[in-house]
Amino acid sequence: MFCDRCGESNRPTATFCRGCGSPLSKADEPTDETVGLPGDRTPDVPESLRRALSGKIDLQRLLGKGGMGEVYLGRELSLDRLVAVKILPPSAAGDPDLVKRFLREARLAARLRHPNIVAIHSVDEVKGINSFTMDFIDGVTLGEYIRVSCEAGLTSPEAEALILQVAKALAHAHASGIVHRDLKPANVMVEPSGHVVVMDFGLARSLGDVGLTSSNVVVGTPRYMSPEQLAGGPVDAASDVFALGLLAFYVYTGRELIRGKTVPAIVAEHANGGPSKAARRAEELTESRRVLLSRVLDPDFRKRPTAADFIEVLSGPEKAAVADPSSVMLAGRLPGTPGKEVPAPKTPTPSPAASPYRKLARERIRRLLEDDEE
């Protein structure tokens, strides 16, 4: 069940959203929970919508819904392939600002080309229906993956293979001048192979774009917001990095660092750098990871490392074997997916020519991880 307010995925029996605490409406749930395989057509697609797009896409079933639209599984007729189709609700189509945000979302996301970011194929307007198509990711959300996997427990290489892929997606987006602003487990998909794809740049904003939203408007999912985002302040790449730290803590430990169910309770947890201090005390983490996450979750955004720095620390010389997700097979964790864990290959011996670079990298990592007591 998806929250109409923030888009968070919740259990079918939930009464309140685990992301923002809003009451959940069950009126729009799919009518048949047992139906859901690619290629199946279900009655949760409005017939008027199906007919409007029938010349290009055969809509099959609802995948999810959020504040900025509904997502359907469809078959693109010209190429005979499955795609995800995001559609702006007809009730919002008459609002020029919402249409502008919706189209802007598609254009921003389409600028990003990275293996760990969902690819946007096309943007269209047919009979007053605004939509765009993107890759259909046949997997589960990171939250669902962790809930299944933690019964057996994630190994450190498995956890870091997941986290690194998310960090690489953010680093690429930031290098392109785009911030996500709503990174959370529900917006990260894990395929049976272990490949990770970051979804829904619906709240993304170009670093150079100051229009559409003002600095005093709070957008995002409260449990994965930075302190400055909760306060309605300016949001930039450092806010994404804070969310990455919260997400990494969740992957490492199987529990969310922020536990509040209301915005005031969450704000209280952030008081006096609460998340950073909690990460520093987490017994489940190694000392190096406690230090890294405490820096990533620093309440002062100016002191946080960048996503690129995060990657460099996590995939340093001693962690090179897990930097590539293909080195750690995550298949077999999901129900009905064959596969087994494959030992990570040994780190190759660096060539003499690479030694000066590695020495500089190690020194940079050491400086980054030093606690600033000032």
The structural domains of the chain, with segments of one domain joined by +, span 47-135, 140-369
**Active-site annotation, residues:** 182
The fold of 140-369 is: Transferase(Phosphotransferase); domain 1 (1.10.510)
The mean pLDDT of 55-84, rounded to a whole number, is 87
In the predicted structure, residue 321 carries a pLDDT above the cut 70: no
In the predicted structure, residue 82 carries a pLDDT above the cut 70: yes
Q: Say which residue, 318 or 187, is predicted with more confidence.
A: 187
In this predicted structure, what is the pLDDT of residue 35? 33
Please count the other Cβ atoms lying within 10 Å of the Cβ belonging to residue 262.
12
d(CA 178, CA 162): 21
In the predicted structure, residue 155 carries a pLDDT above the cut 80: yes
Structural domain 47-135, CATH architecture: 2-Layer Sandwich (3.30)
Give 87's strand partners: 70, 131
Say if pTM beats, i.e. exceeds, 0.75.
no
CA angle, 288 then 318 then 349, to 5°: 170
**CA-CA distances (angstroms) from residue 80 to 53, 125, 273?**
15, 21, 51
Residues in the chain: 374
In this predicted structure, what is the pLDDT of residue 10? 59
Q: What is the DSSP pairing of strand 188-190 with strand 178-179?
A: unpaired
Please count the other Cβ atoms lying within 10 Å of the Cβ belonging to residue 273.
15
Share of the chain above pLDDT 70, in %: 66
